[in-house]
Structure 1
């Protein structure tokens, strides 16, 4: 299992809990674990709304000489290592107490953590804490740390429907089971089709919407929610956040609804084949079922990339920015060339825009395109390390990220000069420095 548990382990602890606290860890929540020094923090900060809820134990003033400090010590269980630790929450209610400059302060520090489990984490990793229904080794609270680049992090984001702008929240584990009620209608439809002998017709009627159609539906929903007619990046205040919200939240929700019906129909065809015994059909059709679920996983990943591409292209189109998509030159095919490959080859001062929903090590291939034009790599990934960002800078690659991610405490982007926002890209790199890229009205 290691220090970062797998989903089955995480799920079992969630199910035995009354309430779950999830936080996307900021850099100062984890930096202490990578330092050789024992600082004053050695833990994470509890957001004020969570601290003022009834999730954590009640704090009291235990030192009359410091009436502005409230704290509590309590046992915590760490399933990944199997240890019980004495943790402490300390609340500082005042800055500069006892002086003329005294001001209200709202800071809750949680210490007494497992250093090994917080060490070398990727940006935007997750902290999970649960209040158990029954104490384990005397501890009513358990904690887990999930690295953001792990499959478990992706499962948690999906299971709890964590949006693109998620930072922290409290969750009722029962709500995960309640979400299953959304499948009741599909279950009833399948059962009725079996009863009526129309299962094959029902199955043939299910299909995944095309990526183009799905993207258009998501864009239309976002435009309706915001009372806008188009996605012009020069008038939309935060175009990067818009793309991230449409791609990661709205379109994904639409896709999951369609995917459920399509995949359930595929599985039903196998399990209910020939009105035979479902268990026997399961065994006989295992290879086909395995293929279905493998296809489902691959389709989700490819859909995410196409989704991002369609929404960025909508920004170019609505902003009347000259571009050529998926142009092939010199054995390469970046997502977009501004204005086009002809000008790129002629003058070498065009703009290459590549898209990666998740970066990992795949950005390195872009360094080969450096002599051909300015390189911009757009992403919605908040897990990129500072070391990778610096290396991109040395290769003259500028990252383009949503506005909220640039300033997010959980990401490593804020102080990096080679990381700009979508707004800065369109306002500075396009409109200010390359106005010829914009078509006249």
Structure 2
């Protein structure tokens, strides 16, 4: 019980020490979001598509003015039951209910409509429409959102001010979006889902096993030895484990991008899902051992040690956050390099030229120096404004920027095109409704990059078998 209390205290401390952004406009800080989550019995989280938000940025007031509810969620018992309220239109089912928007402190009348078939007076009446439209939402909170932003809806345990539902919109580039993705383990292919707020992110068996081991170490006086044994695997070891797990699960012998139908999706899954899961298991053990050393130092009172060592505890979790971000970038690099190796693509990694060090140069840095047909491939898991430095490399070779970020705006993509920079994204992100990639010619999939830009246009970059 004692160790379990220590473990719970560490988890609470971690959640409170997370970097919270200040309330800006209609996007609340995590402290407020987490309060509403704790009051809820169930959550609906959706990654907003362009259709869910484009109406808010339009000067015209269209007929939508809201978002769509996915069919599996609409057919669950999360939202109020829909009924026909207009006998003259039996094909329309709807429901009205009060919804609270904490960001603006207002209660609005929400409306959900489902057109079970097209209007009987129309010629195409036999074609069903599976659209659940949710309207009655504050336009300001959906305006100027980054692609792939999140909508979080909670159904309260107890009615508050006459409503059981609350709604918060979370911009995808905010710290709060990252916290939500981590807490609810929203994977690379996440679109929407229903969640139980009380469910721990860590499987009970893993947590219980760690608690048992820590308890035994304290009882046997071997805590220091236990702590020394907890280490974080090196990036290369993590990458190899994740790659092998994907290969075994999907039945491939290697990660050649010419034999995998969707190499970009494979890299995204390996990096963001498989490897991250492996890393978290090691991270929990490593950080728990560090916290245990602080709280149990000298056999003293854990509360006293907690207060006196709070700055050290703060440093532990700050280090954890920094390592997660740096790990993500290096992870992406190692997996893309594996594509090059297994695909027999000629490349140079981290080559220095002109005071710059791109992630990869194809076929090698010599081609850059000779001003030949060289390709510069830079990697960024998240873009934001950091891509602009790549424009300085334009005189040296053709620039491709690979990313797994689905939050890049149309304006940024257009500016990249003006700077002769092509984006390379996973296949599923290119066509995703939540991203802005589909309509741009300077956005290629990994499949297109390897097939068109390398095998077709630059066959000399690929070594013969």
| TM-score range relative to shorter protein | over 0.9
For 1:369, which of 382, 393, 397 is the aligned residue? 393
For 1:322, which of 346, 355, 359 is the aligned residue? 346
Measured in 1, the distance between the counterparts of 2:204 and 2:345 equals: 44
Task: State yes or no: 1:22 paired with 2:35.
Answer: no
Measured in 1, the distance between the counterparts of 2:304 and 2:105 equals: 40
Measured in 2, the distance between the counterparts of 1:8 and 1:186 equals: 28
3-state SS, counterpart of residue 29 of structure 1: helix
For 1:287, which of 306, 311, 319 is the aligned residue? 311
* Aligned position for 1:33: 56
Task: State yes or no: 1:44 paired with 2:67.
Answer: yes
Measured in 1, the distance between the counterparts of 2:201 and 2:440 equals: 42
* Aligned position for 2:267: 243
**More off after superposition, 176-185 vs 326-335:** 176-185
Report the Cα offset of residue 59 of structure 1: 1.0
Report the Cα offset of residue 165 of structure 1: 0.2
Task: State yes or no: 1:303 paired with 2:292.
Answer: no
3-state SS, counterpart of residue 192 of structure 1: helix
* Aligned position for 2:96: 73
- TM-score of the aligned structures, taking structure 1 as reference length: 0.98
Task: State yes or no: 1:94 paired with 2:117.
Answer: yes
| Cα pair distance change 1:135/1:181, threshold 3 Å | farther
RMSD: 1.2
Task: State yes or no: 1:229 paired with 2:253.
Answer: yes
Measured in 2, the distance between the counterparts of 1:115 and 1:280 equals: 49
* Aligned position for 1:172: 196
Task: State yes or no: 1:426 paired with 2:424.
Answer: no
CA contact (8 A) 1:348 1:371 kept: no
Measured in 2, the distance between the counterparts of 1:66 and 1:289 equals: 62
Report the Cα offset of residue 182 of structure 1: 3.3
Q: Which runs of 5+ in 1 are unaligned?
A: none
CA contact (8 A) 1:403 1:421 kept: yes
| Cα pair distance change 1:282/1:319, threshold 3 Å | same
Measured in 1, the distance between the counterparts of 2:123 and 2:424 equals: 45
Map 1:105-254 → 2, pairs under 5 A: 105-176=129-200, 179=203, 182-254=206-278
Report the Cα offset of residue 171 of structure 1: 1.1
CA contact (8 A) 1:24 1:126 kept: yes
Report the Cα offset of residue 179 of structure 1: 4.4
**More off after superposition, 394-403 vs 75-84:** 75-84
CA contact (8 A) 1:20 1:171 kept: yes
* Aligned position for 1:62: 85
CA contact (8 A) 2:236 2:334 kept: yes
Report the Cα offset of residue 158 of structure 1: 1.0
| Cα pair distance change 1:80/1:225, threshold 3 Å | same
Task: State yes or no: 1:341 paired with 2:341.
Answer: no
* Aligned position for 2:288: 264
Report the Cα offset of residue 21 of structure 1: 0.5
- TM-score of the aligned structures, taking structure 2 as reference length: 0.93
Report the Cα offset of residue 286 of structure 1: 2.1
Measured in 2, the distance between the counterparts of 1:286 and 1:122 equals: 36
CA contact (8 A) 1:349 1:372 kept: no
* Aligned position for 1:85: 108
CA contact (8 A) 1:238 1:422 kept: yes
Residue deviations 1:364-413, cap 9 Å, x none?
Answer: 00001111111000000000000000000000000000000000000000
Measured in 2, the distance between the counterparts of 1:178 and 1:253 equals: 10
Task: State yes or no: 1:378 paired with 2:396.
Answer: no
3-state SS, counterpart of residue 41 of structure 1: coil
CA contact (8 A) 1:27 1:123 kept: yes
Q: Which runs of 5+ in 2 are unaligned?
A: 1-22
Aligned length: 441
CA contact (8 A) 2:70 2:132 kept: yes
